[in-house]
Amino acid sequence: MLGCRQICVLYICWSRVMGLVNGFLAISLSSIQGHKEWITEVNLLGVVKHPNLVKLVGYCAEDDERGMQRLLVYELMPNKSLEDHLIARLLSPLPWIMRLKIANDAARGLAYLHEEMDFQLIFRDFKTSNVLLDEDFNAKLSDFGLARQGPSEGLGHVSTSVVGTVGYAAPEYVQTGRLTAKSDVWSFGVVLYELITGRRSVDKNLPRSEQKLLDWVKPFVSSGSKKIHLIMDTRLEGQFSPCSAQKLVSLANKCLMKQPKSRPKMSEVVEILGQIITELELSDEVVLQPDKEDEAVKENEQNEDMDSAKHRNNYLKKVFDIRDMVSLRNRSIGKLDWRNWTPVRTW
Ligand SMILES: Nc1ncnc2c1ncn2[C@@H]1O[C@H](COP(=O)(O)OP(=O)(O)OP(=O)(O)O)[C@@H](O)[C@H]1O
Ligand SMILES: [Mg+2]
């Protein structure tokens, strides 16, 4: 009988033999994750299949003298998580268009879980560290351990114990334990604000009035406000389209409506994000767009000043070299302890 570690080694050898070189696998040897979460993850990842959900390629659990050892093997996502890019100061900032595309990919993943299967799945732990990025920066959702089947036909919600991560859980879920797919939509709204501002949903290192992201942005983003530029991620260095930023803020606000029923469905979110991206790509506004930028650099090489072309290439290189850089993660935000955290939001 092979143990988890031997299986793990065999799996890596087999992958190499099969030509799945360069570490096709990300391995999570977990004794922290509870058995229930582990079972949920294995069961669900065996059933769900979508380009915007991370693939589970193997699993194993065994009881030994150290207690239960559980192994999950995922496809490797070379560009790590969205959190690593937004927060780790060593990494190059994600260009605006890339943020929009990542949001769109993640929204597609959630829309699939909510609306496109025979039964509904509520993700329950949507956050930047669970949005992983492949070699082309396509986004996929990971960590299904907390996912829960949605309410049966005719029922409005599922009653459950409150789990998730501080700063992302919807207020009605935290207060009543009543779970609907609209709880994920709320979390998605929080992540949109993280993409816009480059800040964490909760950051204890900031001055008190700025620690809760949603409270901090509120005065800048109420309808008709002309102050959105004041909350934009400074690492973008002004390289964003104000028009699309305004639209993204307005979408985030819809996702963060107090009444769950007033929040859009994820398929609607996908549609709105698609429109924002198309309009941006068709517009003349100056934003860095990696693919087009690359082509433009090639075309312009003959006509343009060499120095400026080089400068832009360097910028792109920085973005795509991210995979080789060290990930700095601040794990200060723990699992949801809802007794200490009641989101104060009234929009
Ligand atoms: N398949 C993968 N490929 C590459 N990196 C991964 C993969 N899965 C996870 N990671 C990296 O590991 C980090 C930690 O992920 P993990 O899910 O263990 O913790 P978390 O998301 O911060 O917290 P939680 O346990 O609440 O999900 C991610 O942010 C990412 O950088
Ligand atoms: Mg995770």
- Mind listing the pLDDT tens digit for each residue in 177-214? 889 999 999 999 999 999 999 999 999 999 999 999 99
- Residue 68 domain-assigned? no
* Mutate-to-test residue for ligand 1 from 25, 80, 91, highest number of ligand atoms within 8 A of CB: 80
For 322-335, b/e burial (b = at least 16 CB within 10 A) is: beeeeeeeeeebee
Ligand 1 atom closest to 30 (CA): 18
Is 0.85 surpassed by the pTM of this model? Answer: no
Catalytic residues: 125
Closest by alpha carbon to 246, among 256, 233, 232, 258?
A: 232
Examine residue 34 and state whether it is found in any structural domain, yes or no.
no
Q: Domain total for the chain? A: 2
Q: Rounded to 5 degrees, what angle do the CA atoms 276, 229, 295 make?
A: 50
| Paired tokens of 167 | 């700063």
What percent of the chain has pLDDT above 90?
47
Do the domain assignments include residue 164? yes
pLDDT above 50: residue 66? yes
Ligand nearest to the CA of 74: 1
| Residue 341 phi, psi (nearest 5) | -140, 110
User: Which has more confidence, 312 or 54?
Assistant: 54
**Structural domain boundaries enclosing 114:** 78-287
CA angle 259, 199, 137 (to 5 degrees): 95
User: What's the confidence (pLDDT) of residue 329?
Assistant: 34
Q: Is 91 left (phi over 0), alpha (psi -120 to 50) or beta?
A: beta
Ligand 1 atom having least distance to the Cα of 327: 31
Which of helix, strand or coil describes residue 153?
coil
Quote the mean pLDDT of the chain.
77
Whichever domain contains 249, its CATH number is 1.10.510.10
Beta-strand relationship, 121-122 and 131-133: unpaired
% of the chain with per-residue pLDDT over 70 = 69
Q: pLDDT: is 127 or 285 the higher one?
A: 127
Long-range contacts of 37-43 (CB under 8 A, 24+ apart): 37/145, 37/146, 38/70, 38/72, 38/145, 40/144, 40/145, 40/146, 40/147, 41/72, 41/143, 41/144, 41/145, 41/147, 42/72
User: Hey, what are 88's tokens?
Assistant: 């780790």
| Cα of 84 from ligand 1 centre, angstroms | 10
Domain match, 170 and 212 both: yes
Decide which of 232 and 27 is more confident. Answer: 232
Residues with CB under 6 A from ligand 1: 26, 54, 74, 76-77, 80-81, 83-84, 129-130, 132, 142-143, 165, 327
Q: From the alpha carbon of 33, which atom of ligand 1 is closest?
A: 25
Q: Whose CA is nearest to atom 15 of ligand 1?
A: 129
Name residues with Cβ closer than 5 Å to ligand 2, which is an ion.
129-130, 143
Same domain flag for 255 and 302: no
The answer, yes or no, to whether residue 247 has pLDDT greater than 60, is: yes
Tell me, what's the pLDDT at 88?
A: 76
Band (347; pLDDT cuts 50, 70, 90): very low
